[in-house]
Structure 1
Amino acid sequence: MTEILKLLKNGNKPSLLAAFVNAFLGIIKGAAFFFTGNVAMFAEMMHSFGDSANQFFVYIGSALSKKAPTKQFPAGYGRIVNLVCLFAVIIVAILSYETIKEGWHHLLHPAIESKGIFIALGVLFIGIVLETAVLAKAAVEVLHEAGQEKAGLASISKAFGFLNRAKPATKLVFMEDLVATAGNILAFSAILIAHFTGWGQIEGLVSIIIGCMMFFVVGKVFLDNARGAIGETDQEMLNHIAHLVLDDPNIKDIVRLEVIKEGEFLHVELVAEANPELSLAFLDDVRDHLTEIILSQKGVTRVAILYDEDDGELTWVHVADRPPNLTIK
């Protein structure tokens, strides 16, 4: 139990905050739907509860992924966060379907008049404020993980350029809350339009749009985490580490270099060619030096370095300079 509590303290904080915020919003939106019968409010209720469950699972997964390697799992538990994200999107997919189905029904058979417009608008306004705050927090975390400076509210727009460098949990929270904020604004607008124009079908149309946006997040998150669960190479870091290794005058060539994403972490495996006349003791010192340099790079938690005899031929070509049809040996 003590170990679990320690792990939970290191879980992804934005996802935990978003889980509580969305649970609260789901409850008040559910109450508003009960009193008003507004289908746009139903869509937002489903959206909030789906995001809450999703983000809570992601928080647990991000915490467990930091568990230290064991004899049974020597590579560690980093990919747990990817597996949890894959499970979490199933929940969102089901709720997305229900949201679209309810919206379609309302589009074909719109209610004559929604009740309690001020209740609905008040709840949605609270949702816009809270979701925007969580989105801003997630954006700041994205920039922090990418090594960038935060920029106040401009952090949200700035974060789009660095999403691919964010941790899986942070990226998921940012995307979900972006859609949630947009969904609140759409539902707010739909209720106003329906009230002043009498076009009741717009609430069903907005419900369908919100459900489709949820499906977009499902698809994006599924693809990203499926690659992570299989074991995706970080190409940018691979090229960077190759430069660091070849900057060492004792390394003549790289036979093989792998930089694999293990959840939020990177594992590096290197086979390098060295002068066969160098002593084992000297090469061991070189390995220690390279290991220290590589471990100092952001996200790298494990390094394995092996040597091969220099064959006098250069076989490694940097990723940025490699022709499309040339593979790394």
Structure 2
Amino acid sequence: MSKEKSNDHGTGHIIQSLIVNVLIASSKGVAAFMTGSGSMLAETIHSFADCANQGLLLVGVKQSKRPADKKHPLGYGRSVYFWSFMVAMLLFSIGGMFSIYEGLHKFSHPEPVENIEWAIGILVFSLALEGYATYSNIVELNERRGNTGFVEYIRNTKDSDLIVIFGENSAAVFGLILAITALLAAYYTGDGRYDALGSLAIGVVLIAVAIFLSVEVKSLLIGESADSVINDLVEKEAEKSPEILELINCITIQQGPGEVLMCIKIKCKPDLTAIQISQMINKFENDIRSKAPEVKWIYIEPDLQEWK
């Protein structure tokens, strides 16, 4: 079972990445102006888009913590999934498509890059910052995943904002390596088309990451089941209860990071009174919540026959 910090869904990793990207975007903008490089301009737009994306994620996390009300009786937990999906779309449209457009334009009208020292220095500086941010993401992912495999955790985790930040930072590191390679190739060969190819490659990377993130977040947005560990827990607790003959059905829905809705149908002993059934259900709920506090809503229906 992973050690996902479902009940301590903070924003530290988002704020850290936002600060890093503001510094990087500003420095890249200076380098793009000084060199006239398409790759540098693509990287500048990418970093400024990342800043906007992280701002949207902060909005999503804040909205997801709003208390439930009459209009939204199960709370606003899925807000973070909506804004995470929007970030993936922006990464695709602003970051990826603009980089490809810039690459195609520069390839058709190649220009020599100038003052490469500025660009390389700033790119190395940016790579160090992005590398540190990505490393911090990996450390937090490792803490949350526990014994779960890294790739498996990324595919199954319900903390969409953490995965979006990791995807952005990883794409940024790869994009910076591509930009450095393209600039050096364009400078030493005197062929500006290498710089254009770098911009195209960066766009492809961003679009690939955006598609991956959008697919993962879409599943959460439309209603994904909770971690299978929770279903296993319910089965074990049902087996322990002498009043429960069979767990007929258990449906879970992830309502947001650290928020699970659970609907259960159980087959009870036929000789139980209404009071005994109520006491059994209360104990069953308490046993589940004590071991899985992320389960915030539990609806249990007792029955004497199989569910069809």
Percent of pairs with identical residues: 26
Asked whether the equivalents of residues 124 and 184 of structure 1 are also in contact (C-alpha less than 8 Å), the reply is yes
Normalising by structure 2, we get a TM-score of 0.88
Deviations 1:87-140 (A, max 9, x none): 2233222222111100111122211x2111111011101111111111111112
Structure 1 residues 166-190: Cα deviation after superposition (integer angstroms, max 9, x where no partner): 3100011111111100111111111
1:162 equivalent to 2:156? Answer no
3-state SS of paired residue (2:70): coil
In 2: Cα distance, 1:211 partner to 1:298 partner: 42
- Compute the displacement of 1:148 (Å): 5.1
After TM superposition, give the deviation of residue 240 of structure 1 in Å: 1.6
- 5 Å matches for 1:37-56? 37-56=36-55
Give secondary structure in 2 for the equivalent of 1:204. Answer: helix
Q: 2:279 aligns with which of 275, 278, 285?
A: 285
8 Å CA contact 1:272–1:305 kept in 2: the answer is no
Amino acid at match of 1:210: I
- The match for 2:256 is 263
Superposition misfits of 4+ residues, deviation over 6 angstroms: none
Partner of 2:266: 272
- Code of the residue aligned with 1:47 in structure 2: it is H
How far off is 1:235 after superposition? 5.7
CA distance, structure 2, for counterparts of residue 303 and residue 275 of structure 1: 25
Q: Give the match's secondary structure for 1:23.
A: helix
Task: Report the equivalent of 1:213.
Answer: 205
State which of 183, 196, 204 in structure 1 corresponds to 2:196.
204
- Counterpart in 2 of 1:27? 26
Aligned to 2:143: 144
Pair 13,75 (structure 1): closer, same or farther in 2 beyond 3 Å? same
Structure with more relative contact order (C-alpha pairs < 8 Å, separation 6 or more): 2
Number of residue pairs the alignment of both structures matches = 297
- Tell me how far 1:228 sits from its aligned partner: 1.5
How far, CA to CA, are the matches of 2:291 and 2:194 in structure 1? 51
Q: Is 1:234 matched with 2:226? A: yes
Give the gaps of 5 or more residues in structure 2.
1-7
RMSD of aligned Cα (Å): 2.2
Q: What is the SS of the residue equivalent to 1:258? A: strand
1-structure distance, mates of 2:41, 2:201:
13
The structural deviation recorded for 1:266 is 1.8
Q: Distance in 1 between matches of 2:9 and 2:228?
A: 26
Where does structure 1 lack aligned partners over 5 or more consecutive residues? 1-8, 150-157, 316-328
Residue 127 of structure 1 pairs with residue 120 of structure 2: no
Q: What does residue 4 of structure 1 align with?
A: none
Return the alpha-carbon distance in structure 1 between the equivalents of residues 296 and 37 of structure 2: 53
Q: Distance in 2 between matches of 1:299 and 1:56?
A: 29
Once structures 1 and 2 are overlaid, which stretch shifts more, 268-277 or 129-138? 268-277
Could you tell me which amino acid in structure 2 is paired with residue 309 of structure 1?
D
Distance 1:262 1:99 in 2: 35
